[in-house]
Amino acid sequence: MTRTKLPKVGTTIFTVMSQLAAEHRAVNLGQGFPDFDVPDRLVDGLAEAMRLGHNQYAPMTGIPALRDAIAEKTERVYAHRPDAEHEITVTSGATEALFNAIHAVVRAGEEVIVLDPAYDSYEPAIELAGAVAVHVPLDPRTFAPDWQRVRDAITPRTRMLIVNSPHNPSGAMFGAADIAALTDLLRDTDIVLLSDEVYEHIVFDGARHESVLRHPELRARAFVVSSFGKTYHCTGWKLGYCIAPPVLTAEFRKVHQYNVFCTFAPAQHAFAAMLREAPEHYEQLGAFYQAKRDAFAAQLATTRLIPLPVPGGYFQLVDYSQVSDLDDAAFCRWLTIERGVAAIPLSPFYAVPPPGQRLARLCFAKNDATLEAAITRLQAL
């Protein structure tokens, strides 16, 4: 009988809760996908690219026009222009990029530090590389890192540190002090940084996203991962990219070419045009989602759920302790089946969940009618 290589892995919680929502006709605020339209300009660009015949394999690293547009956009936003030929690789979504980065440099027996709660794709990729995920918990309410605890977790076997800002599931963000601490922590080490920045443009209240790409000492040792799906409301297109220095990009591409080789060609042409012709989309994305965040928080105030602060991203954590003493997995099942609103429990994002934590994640990347329908049901709790 075959022995599993991933004994701790079952079906992802996002799939489980979405299936449960469909079975019980619940309003799905669980899985993180928008239910509103992709920008018309992008849809038209995709259709035009297909009509023009861009339907065969793209270059392995991504079409030159898109890599050039990414370089220009990166310079516009972060005052750093990566080399399009040697530092930018287009991938089939950010999750592929995360997998590639881990497998590019992490060897069997090495360690990767993960800050919990963490996106659930990190640890399986680490384990498939034969390495060990070392979990360091964030503050259970603010989700801020304790950099001394991270430093204490470093051993001679530490190969990589994974960070995520804006953070999924909490929306917490790094500030200047975090960047300074992170830089000091990694200085004089050989540790590679993997920075998951898929919510980079969804930041609120005038804050600045502290991309690793802004900071020369960090970007010299980092894979930085971005997502077109998150930025342009088209998660089903599965397109992302990774920016890394040439020596890391060379290793990244070795994995990429035997993983998917290349990605959806017509969409690459559409994004190349969109980046150049409509920068206002990503520049105004924070304001677009901030309005949704604020309206949803105001609506939640009419329920017994207590919303936590959301500095970035499109997820709202709620404290449900005034509603139920159930653990988060049981509560989210109950909420979906009995009250018709699907949420995501936080425990799957942890190796060891904090005892007594009563938090669930709701996605507000939804149209007004969806959110209002959910609130009506939540008001009955």
- Supply the DSSP symbol for 359: E
In a domain, 6, yes or no: no
First and final C-alpha spacing in the chain:
47
In a domain, 156, yes or no: yes
Instruction: Give yes or no: residues 194 and 271 share one domain.
Output: yes
Decide if 171 is inside a domain.
yes
Last-in-domain residue among 235, 257, 278:
278
Give Cα 252 distance to the centre of its chain.
Answer: 19
Q: Could you tell me the CATH number of the domain that includes residue 343?
A: 3.90.1150.10
Domain boundary among 221, 247, 278: 278
Q: Which of 246, 278, 310 is the last residue of a domain?
A: 278
Does residue 8 sit within a domain?
A: no
Residue 358's domain comprises: 13-31+284-378
Tally of domains in the chain: 2
Whether residue 298 lies inside any domain: the answer is: yes
Residues 211 and 225 grouped into a single domain = yes
Q: What is the pLDDT along the chain (381 residues), one digit of tens a residue?
A: 578 999 888 778 888 888 988 898 999 999 888 999 999 999 999 999 999 999 999 999 999 999 999 999 999 999 999 999 999 999 999 999 999 999 999 999 999 999 999 999 999 999 999 999 999 999 999 999 999 999 999 999 999 999 999 999 999 999 999 999 999 999 999 999 999 999 999 999 999 999 999 999 999 999 999 999 999 999 999 999 999 999 999 999 999 999 999 999 999 999 999 999 999 999 999 999 999 999 999 999 999 999 999 999 999 999 999 999 999 999 999 999 999 999 999 999 999 999 999 999 999 999 999 999 999 999 999
| CA 10 from centroid of its chain's CA atoms | 20
Gap between the Cα atoms of 260 and 24, Å rounded: 35
Strands (E), the chain: 27-28, 88-91, 111-116, 132-137, 158-164, 192-196, 222-227, 240-243, 306-307, 315-319, 341-342, 344-345, 359-363
Distances (CA, A) of 357 to 80, 181, 266, 297, 328: 40, 28, 45, 20, 8
